[in-house]
Structures are given as structure tokens and as C-alpha cells.
Amino acid sequence: GGFDHEGIDYMFKVVMIGDSGVGKSQLLNRFVRNDFHMNSKATIGVEFLTKTVLMDHKLVKAQIWDTAGQERYQAITTAYYRGATGALLAYDITNRHSFNHIEKWLDELHRHADKNIVVMLVGNKSDLSSIRQVPTEEAEDLAKQKGLFFVETSALDSNNVEPAFLGLLSHIYTRVS
Ligand code: GDP
Ligand code: MG
């Protein structure tokens, strides 16, 4: 790669999208800081967090953008999506509405983002499977139909959070390298 800054070979912009309350900010908090807040509805308070990972002997810096709650008002701007090579599209497995809105989020992506953007569909809050409203198989079927990668996660107990982000980054890497 030709990205000659602090030894970084590649820089990938990733955007977090999905309904309000599904756990986007806490997924990012878990991945970047290994931290979680149960009562924090507040967002991280910055536009993005970064994390650098080693992939195939290359240093890949992920710049991961989080919303400040604009998704509640369908007010995410085009600038948010500009230059993004990946999207982590999250729903809450205990909230059927958040899953029903996946198509709306894909439309939004196709309107505003690069058409080759890599999308990881994430069913979050797997720790709450006793009150699940979305069967895993149903999400797997949707992912297959739409050409998305898919995993269920828990930002609370960390389950699959690293594989979700690292999987997304490695699929982007495969596409650009
Ligand atoms: P966002 O609006 O999509 O950014 O959602 P947040 O990250 O702010 O999370 C919304 C609420 O869900 C907060 O109360 C979080 O603590 C909670 N939450 C987030 N992820 C999980 C999870 O994996 N399991 C459980 N049980 N709660 C979660
Ligand atoms: Mg948030």
C-alpha cells in the first residue's frame, strides 16, 4: 500500500449505521476501548474512533465513524458516508422493528455511499437471546439475499465483536489489495 504515514499501509473509513438504540456506539466502544456502558445513551462524543490492526503483514488503520444520534431523525448527512469503504449495519435481535428497517438502511447506503461498499450486518445484543424477536436463520437468509456478511454480537459480553469488525476490515482489504 502507498499510505505513507506512521507506517500505515492502508486507511479504511467505516461507518456505523442502523436504528437508534441497537448498540452501535457500544459496539464501537467495545471494539476500540474494550469498554461498555449499560446506562449511557450518550454517544462517544467524537466523529470517529480509530484502531490500527495488522492484516496480512500490513498495518491497516480503521477510522470508524459513529453518529451523534442523527439516525433518530433520519438526518445523517452525505458527508458521513463520503469515502467510506465499509459499513457496519446493526440491528437489535430483541427489536423486530430495527431488523425490519435494514432495507431502509441499505437504500440509504445505496443513495449516499460508494456502490462497492462492504457491508457487515450485525445482530447485536445476543446476550438477550431469551427475549429474541429475530431468529438467526432469518437474518442469515436476508444477508445471503442482499450479499452482506453477517454475525450476531454482544457489546455487553464481547461475543463476536472483534470478528465483526475484523471480518469487515479483512473483506475491505481483500477488495482493495
Ligand atoms: P446506538 O443508539 O445504536 O448507538 O445504541 P447504544 O450503543 O447507545 O446502546 C443503546 C442501549 O443498548 C444502551 O443502554 C446500551 O447499554 C445497550 N446495549 C448496547 N449493546 C448491548 C448489548 O450487546 N447487550 C445489551 N444487553 N445491551 C446493549
Ligand atoms: Mg449511538
Q: Tell me, what's the ipTM?
A: 0.99
Verify whether ligand 1 is closer than 6 Å to residue 155 (CB atom): yes
Mean pLDDT of 90-117: 97
Q: Among all ligands shown, which has an atom nearest to the Cα of 157?
A: 1
Is the beta carbon of 23 within 6 A of some atom in ligand 1?
A: yes
Q: Is the CB of 20 under 6 A from ligand 1?
A: yes
Is the confidence at residue 5, as pLDDT, over 70?
A: no
Where does the pLDDT of residue 73 fall: very low under 50, low under 70, confident under 90, or very high at 90 and above? confident
Q: Which ligand is nearest to the CA of 90?
A: 1
Backbone Cα Rg of the chain: 15
Q: What is the predicted pLDDT for the residue at 1?
A: 47
The residues near 113 (Cβ < 8 Å, ≥ 6 apart) are 15, 81, 84, 87
Q: Which of 76, 111, 99 is nearest to 150 (CA)?
A: 99
User: Any idea which of 33-47, 50-64, 113-127, 145-159 has the lowest mean pLDDT?
Assistant: 33-47
Per-residue cell: 7: 507506517
37-62: b or e for each residue (b if 16 or more CB lie within 10 Å)?
eeeeeebbeeebbebeeebeeebbbb
**Ligand 1 contact via 21 beta carbon (within 6 Å):** yes
In this predicted model, what pLDDT tens digit does every residue of 9-62 receive, in sequence order? 999 999 999 999 999 999 999 999 998 988 766 555 568 999 999 999 999 999
